[in-house]
Amino acid sequence: MADRTHNETENSRNGRHSDRLTFFYRLNKCEERSRRNFENFTETITSDLQEHCKQTSRRDNIFVYFEYTQEGTLWVVDDKWFADAIHNFAKKYSIPLQNITFHGGAASLEKSYNTWHSIHRPNEDKIKLRHTDFGLWLYEKNNVYFDILKFPKEAHTNLRTKKFNCLNANLSIQHRIAFLHYMWKNNLLDTENNLISFHYFHGMHYPIEEQYPIPQELKDILPIQFDLKGGWEEVYKKIFDSKHDPSVLTDWNKTGDYSYIYDDCYFTVTTESGECVQLCDQFCEDGLDEYFRPFHQEMFITEKTTRPMLYLHPQILYSTSGTLEYLKSWGFKTFSNYWNEDYDNETNSNKKLQMIMDVVTELNNKPLEELHEMYWDMMPILKHNQNILINTGIEKYENNVFPLDL
């Protein structure tokens, strides 16, 4: 992405608005960015705008652009969704709402905002919205990451020793607790025949455990770690230790060499960062879950979805309902000719989880030789998806990273 400081003020490129002032802010400059207590960025990083407003009463020529594409949108600012803070900010400084743009990372941003607006601010104007799918942007060939990526142009033809991989570094994301529970209940934590990780650490409390209790016999085998060993700090140091020039802003978790995993199994079971209904459950202790449910969705495409594509791997995807259809809109192909993908249409989390488990169980029961044959039969799809990921997204992203009307 283009690099600009978070407090840049610039004249418009449009000569018809030579007195136009644009204030650009990156939310990754915020010090507190936890989901439950995201700092009020409209106040903490806008000091230059606040100072400008003290100098003049004119507001129609002020345009504000907030950018935070690295994460989804489930952030609480002062016990409300972040959009509430933006609307309050506009009112406090008398800035027209239509002059404010928020550029986020969730494909569902506009839908969530429009529903939130109809419920909580129906008599006010709307802000402008843009989104960039981080996972799709990450691996395209014009990206700064691309030159350091290691990925196969062709898959090896040897029989593989494992059936699937399912990688879960962070169990503090609530829906993965539910996923772990279902994997255990369906006898799919088969670490001899599969590459599975659940980095769970004793003593940590997750509210969703009340709905999906982790039996003691399951806790006794956690964490499940096949490659990264050790406690929380040790594992995360290995995952996020930069292997390259730190100015490139990269880390092993996104751009490291994963061939030792993908080359040794036939399909991936992906647990994305967001599953819209169950993400709300992390706020059940605060009572905010009922506040979020009527409007919030979290379709956030990360490297967890796109990395298997880069490595010529088919996947079963546990994410927000409709994610597969969204990927198809980009030109990707999915695997409905090989297994049931109806789970993507299911909005009930428990039903969806069981539908996914049924698919994984069916595939896990196949011998390696049958999976090998199936894998090579779908190779045209796998190469198509890798090509789309690397090449097709470029034009979309170059046109979408920054608006032409800044």
Same domain, yes or no, for 122 and 166? no
- Residue 268, Cβ density class (10 Å: 0-12 exposed, 13-18 middle, ≥19 buried): buried
In the predicted model, residues of the chain with pLDDT beneath 70 are 1-18, 170, 172, 201-212, 232, 236-253, 276-279, 281-282, 285, 392-406
Check whether residue 108 and residue 192 sit in a common domain.
no
Same domain as 346, residue 313: yes
| Same domain (yes/no): 229, 269 | yes
Q: Which of 81, 103, 131 is the last residue of a domain?
A: 131
**Whether the predicted model's global pTM rises above the 0.75 cut:** yes
Assigned domain for 370 exists = yes
How many domains would you assign to the chain? 2
- Please report whether residue 404 resides in a domain: no
Among the candidates 66, 100, 131, a domain finishes at 131
Q: Is the same domain home to 93 and 167?
A: no
The per-residue pLDDT for 1 is: 35
Residue 280 lies in a domain: yes
22 sits in which H/E element: strand 21-26
Give the domain range for residue 44.
8-131
Residues 165 and 193 in one domain: yes
Residues 6+ apart with CB under 8 A from 104: 68, 69, 72, 73, 129, 130, 131
Q: Could you tell me if residue 118 is inside a domain?
A: yes
Q: What is the pLDDT of residue 244?
A: 44
Q: What is the pLDDT of residue 257?
A: 84
Burial of residue 205, with CB atoms counted within 10 A of its CB: 0-12 exposed, 13-18 middle, 19 or more buried: exposed
Asked whether residue 188 falls in the same domain as residue 334, the answer is yes
One domain for residues 175 and 99: no
